[in-house]
Chains A and B, each alone.
Chain A
Amino acid sequence: MCLILCEGKYDTLFLQQVIENSSELETDRYTGKEGDKLYQQQDYMESFEYKSEEVLVKGESGKDFQLQIYKNQLLDFDRKYNSHFLLWDLDGAEPENKFEKYETHLQQRFEAHKPVNLEMEIESENELFYSIKLTGQIADYQFETPVIAFKTNLEEEANINHQEHNKEQKTERTKELASNESVLEFFESNLIQEID
């Protein structure tokens, strides 16, 4: 199974829609799950319901939860999933800022295994996204995490205003962005083709 960790509800919907719209990934065995507390993730990862899925898009309830679950699950990624990805919202900041936050948190969490090395490389970009690769090592455990990052965030790119738009409008705008040709092309080249 491939795991894609997102930050929020509409990110999850967006990625599901990208997968659905893509002709590169011929599977209907994908699902999206949003909003659970991070600890519940383990529950459904292990549950029969999702075991047969090829892709699981998991939305966390915000940036901090995404980072927490990344820290908690990192050592298990190689055991549980064939591949894993992160979807970030950079909110207009440089990718280095987000990277430094991840690096600091991992160094604190695994301080018993100093030095914890994490490196970031921007592999490609277009107007809306960066494709980033995080590589790291904790003791003898080496890991590699591909990331697709919105340069801003989904709400801004899909013109979603949480105060003004209702649920249906937000869903519609999210789906619209996911069907954009250049968006699809970017995800196919940088994520979908990599799904193992």
Chain B
Amino acid sequence: MSDQVENLQIENFKAFNSIKIEPKKLNIITGRNNTGKSSIIEAVDLVNNPSNIESFSSHGIRDLINLDAESSEITLNGEKTVKIRPPQSFEEINEAVGRKFVNEYQRINEKFDDDDETEEVSEEDISAIIAQSQDLSEKMTNKATVIEHEEEKNVFFDNVGTNTRRQVIASIIENLHPEQADEALDNIDRLVYPLPWNMGENNILDEYRLGGHHLEQDDTVVQEKIEKFVEEHELIENFSGFRDGEIVLEREDGELDSLPLAYMGDGFRAIIGLVRKIIVSDYNTVLVEEPENHLHPGYVSELVDFIVNQTKNSEIQFFITTHNADFIEEFYEERFKEDEDLQEKFKLFRLQRRGFVESMSYEESRKELEDLKMDLRGNK
């Protein structure tokens, strides 16, 4: 993502009717469950990466539109807008379903083709495929949602079941590759399962626990940065470094031991995973859901130091959701009391029932820390 978010207008998106927030560099979004914390970072992600929409709703993409409205609109910095709406016509759906067929057809062609070069799908084939998709389009009418973004328009579908995909693929094979139909249909599951229709992957960091394979992928510079973080924050005793995807510890006698990362606790793998993700990504905007999960309180403190350091010394803008009072409290510890740079760049959003958003500066949220904690822990 490239744009720093100076303001974000959200209209009829999930629980929000109409809000306009003006974030700073470090934005903590808190509130009880189901108050819309995730919706804010989803909105930021969506306006930058509209195709991520498929990963946002397990119930149905159209559910992202506020119940009282016909469509949703999210606008970033007053200029970049994404609009979510139901399709306006059957043709709009049919064309999109047809495109899905074309994609399947291309994929199947690749499987059938012995050559390395994939054949272009001809216009005739495309027309035939779209014509074939009419039946399915009718079934998909209530599953389609249109996303308009910078003069582009895309139609997305709620999860398409395996049986439907099997039908589509069987139909394509029988009609367009009749000579290979028997063999292909025998192996149809190999065609159905490898590539689901909905492949949306959002940029919200919610699964980043470090694994050995990550370290094996990383170049030396990244690995050195992570090692430096572990050493500076004294996350584990006798740490010597990473090697071949394993963690190396120095014994008292000076000998080195290697341990698979899987042997380390979830907390260690989570904090290092998050730090790594931020280091290796070139995001200017980092969206993180509940980063304190799995972390020991000592690690929470180290994580907050890292986030504060990145806020002050990098181009990264953070949007962090949490309902953990201890994580929030860490930002007001004595070591940040005189940190004007941090305080200037910090903003806390407390989400209330019915889609209300309260905005607080560092100083104001510090004053109300006890109330925030009570809100998160108590029965308000």
Contact = CB atoms under 8 A, between A and B. Distances in A.
B371 A39 contact: yes
Dominant secondary structure at the A interface: helix
A139 interface: yes
Contact of A108 (B21, B352, B357, B359): B359
Given A68-B367, A68-B368, A43 B378 contact: yes
A111 B359 contact: yes
A112 interface: yes
B18 A38 contact: no
Nearest to A111: B359
Interface in A104-119: 108-114
B19 A113 contact: yes
B358 interface: yes
A140 B355 CA distance: 11
Given A108-B359, A109-B358, A109-B360, A114 B370 contact: no
A111 B378 CA distance: 26
B153 interface: no
B370 A110 contact: no
Contacts of A71: 358
B20 interface: yes
B75 to A, nearest CB: 14
A39 B374 contact: yes
A113 B367 CA distance: 22
Given A75-B352, A109-B358, A139-B356, A114 B20 contact: yes
Contacts of A139: 17-18, 355-356
Given A43-B374, A68-B367, A112-B20, A75 B359 contact: no
B278 to A, nearest CB: 27
Interface size range of chain A in the complex: 20 to 34
A65 to B, nearest CB: 9
B359 A141 contact: no
Interface string A67-85: 0100110011000000000
B356 A76 contact: no
Interface in A23-50: 37-40, 42-43, 46
Interface of B: 17-22, 349, 352-360, 364, 367-368, 370-371, 373-375, 378-380
Closest 10 CB pairs of A and B: A39-B370, A112-B357, A39-B371, A39-B374, A112-B19, A112-B21, A111-B359, A109-B358, A75-B352, A42-B380
17 contacts: A39-B370, A39-B371, A39-B373, A40-B374, A42-B378, A42-B379, A46-B378, A68-B371, A71-B358, A72-B368, A109-B364, A111-B21, A112-B349, A112-B358, A139-B17, A140-B17, A141-B356
